[in-house]
DNA sequence: ACCTGAACACCGTTCAAGT
DNA sequence: ACCTGAACACCGTTCAAGT
């Protein structure tokens, strides 16, 4: 039987599926290689190291975020990013570790910056701004903590909140986003 | 020669020092045990697992944050928390992983909530509020990303920003904190 | 009370060699 | 181009046993 054949795309797809099934702590190169019916060392033909593979996974997770659009409401863009991060187990932590290397999040960041920029139709593709970066950092921190908490609860490591934890988290998210983007919902005076 | 003698306090102190020297990825139970001149298994008499040890480290990192004080300005409290996280290498990530388990951050959270609460001197010790939680999540996300970026740069994994990265990060932090706490600087009308 | 010694079940990564 | 096979240098954790 010839060895299995793969490319970067199929490896990333498998890694994303495995991430969602077992979580980031159990997503090892060895486990992934078993899933792909391949020796661990085979993965290093496709990626220089695990970090690079995770950057590819992060990219895929954020592909669900709409293209930059200066007419989009900042709060909607923020929600789209949060939803994308929460779609896969530990998705936020994966994106966070890759974002530190400035990988995988460029599109999401530009989408935020565009929605937050003072509206001027000429420059559709706004550069990063301090506030847009801050909003993105808030979303990443929030979603990462939420997912870690969800895992801790499933393990029983922490007692569940009295109220629905997802609902509580959403309330926290809303109040943060409202504070950070609320002012920009109204076009600033010229 | 009799084996070395330790308690939780001294183990945590050594772990914090080692964290600052080598960073979180290299802070292993085995390396810490070597530093303490003890077998790895000895650590498990003091702590049930690595996570519990890190929660102790997180606690220590946040001890630098002042007691809750409703007369403190929210922005000052936010800065005190950020400074505490940035004092030790990878401090933010350690606190983040413990905060998911609701460990180690209670005091910092109460300090934030107190400063953000509508001022009413009777209830000095404000409970958590959605906005206070959001601000704390922003600070953790921001500081974690900054420290990871600093490490990536020292490794050369990412090209340094043209301008001073610490100054850029501070500007991002300021604009986030201003947006989230600025409105509360003025007492809301009754 | 606090630690040793030995083991179990894992990791990420490298590199020569195969096809 | 893509993978195997074998190795290197590590992990966290458990548990009987020592003092």
Kindly report, residue by residue over A22-78, the tens digit of the pLDDT: 999 999 999 999 999 999 999 999 999 999 999 999 999 999 999 999 899 999 999
Give the closest-approach CA distance of B16 to chain A in angstroms: 22
B103 — pLDDT class (breaks 50, 70, 90): confident
pLDDT at B125: 54
Nearest beta carbon to residue B101 from set A134, A144, A158: A158
**CA distances for B144 relative to A99, B73, B132, angstroms:** 11, 23, 18
Please give the distance of CA A81 from its chain centroid, rounded to a whole number: 7
Q: Residue B91: is it exposed, middle or buried by C-beta count within 10 angstroms (0-12/13-18/19+)?
A: buried
- Residue B162 confidence (pLDDT) above 70: no
C-alpha dist (Å) from residue B24 to A105, B50, B91: 24, 12, 8
Task: Give me the mean pLDDT over the B133-140 stretch.
Answer: 98
Q: Which two tokens stand for residue A96?
A: 């966070």
Which domains does chain B show, CATH number per domain? 8-118+125-183 (1.10.357.10)
Residue, of B42 and A156, whose pLDDT is higher: B42
CA distance A4 to chain B (A): 32
Residues of chain A with pLDDT > 70, as a percent, come to 88
State the average pLDDT over residues A165-173: 92
Residue B165's pLDDT is: 78
Residues of B with CB under 8 A from a CB of A: 96-97, 99-102, 130-131, 133-135, 137-142, 144-145, 148-149, 151-152, 157-158, 171-176, 179-181, 183
CB A116 within 8 A of CB A184: yes
Contact of A116 with A74, CB cutoff 8 Å: yes
pLDDT given at position B154: 82
Alpha helix ranges (H) inside chain A: 8-22, 29-35, 43-46, 50-62, 74-87, 91-99, 106-116, 130-155, 165-185
**Closest amino acid to nucleotide D7 (CA–C1'):** A41
pLDDT of residue A4: 81
pLDDT of residue A187: 43
pLDDT digits (tens, 9 = 90+) for B61-97: 999 999 999 899 999 999 999 999 999 999 999 999 9
- pLDDT, position A35: 98
Q: What is the pLDDT, as a whole number, of residue A162?
A: 63
Answer whether residue A190 shows pLDDT above 60: no
Question: Would you say residue B190 has pLDDT above 50?
Answer: no
B110, B165 in Cβ contact below 8 A?
A: no
Cα dist. B148→A59, A101, B10 in Å? 18, 8, 27
CB B116 within 8 A of CB A172: no
Give me the pLDDT at residue B186, please. Answer: 44
A contacts of B96 (beta carbons < 8 Å): 141, 144-145, 148
């Amino acid at each position: 039987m010839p060895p299995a054949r793969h490319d970067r795309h199929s490896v990333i797809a498998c890694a994303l599926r495995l991430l969602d099934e077992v979580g980031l702590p159990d997503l090892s190169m060895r486990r992934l290689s078993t899933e792909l019916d391949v020796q661990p060392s085979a993965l290093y033909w496709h990626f220089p190291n695990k970090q690079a593979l995770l950057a590819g996974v992060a990219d895929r997770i954020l592909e669900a975020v709409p293209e930059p659009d200066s007419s989009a409401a900042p709060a909607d863009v923020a929600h789209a990013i949060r939803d994308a991060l929460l779609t896969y187990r530990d998705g936020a932590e994966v994106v966070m570790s890759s974002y530190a290397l400035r990988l995988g999040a460029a599109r999401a960041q530009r989408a935020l910056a565009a929605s937050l920029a003072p509206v001027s139709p000429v420059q559709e593709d706004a550069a990063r701004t301090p506030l847009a970066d801050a909003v993105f950092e808030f979303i990443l921190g929030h979603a990462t903590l939420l997912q870690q908490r969800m895992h801790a609860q499933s393990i029983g490591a922490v007692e569940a909140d009295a109220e629905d934890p997802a609902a509580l988290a959403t309330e926290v998210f809303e109040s943060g986003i409202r504070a950070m983007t609320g002012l920009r919902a109204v076009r600033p005076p010229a």
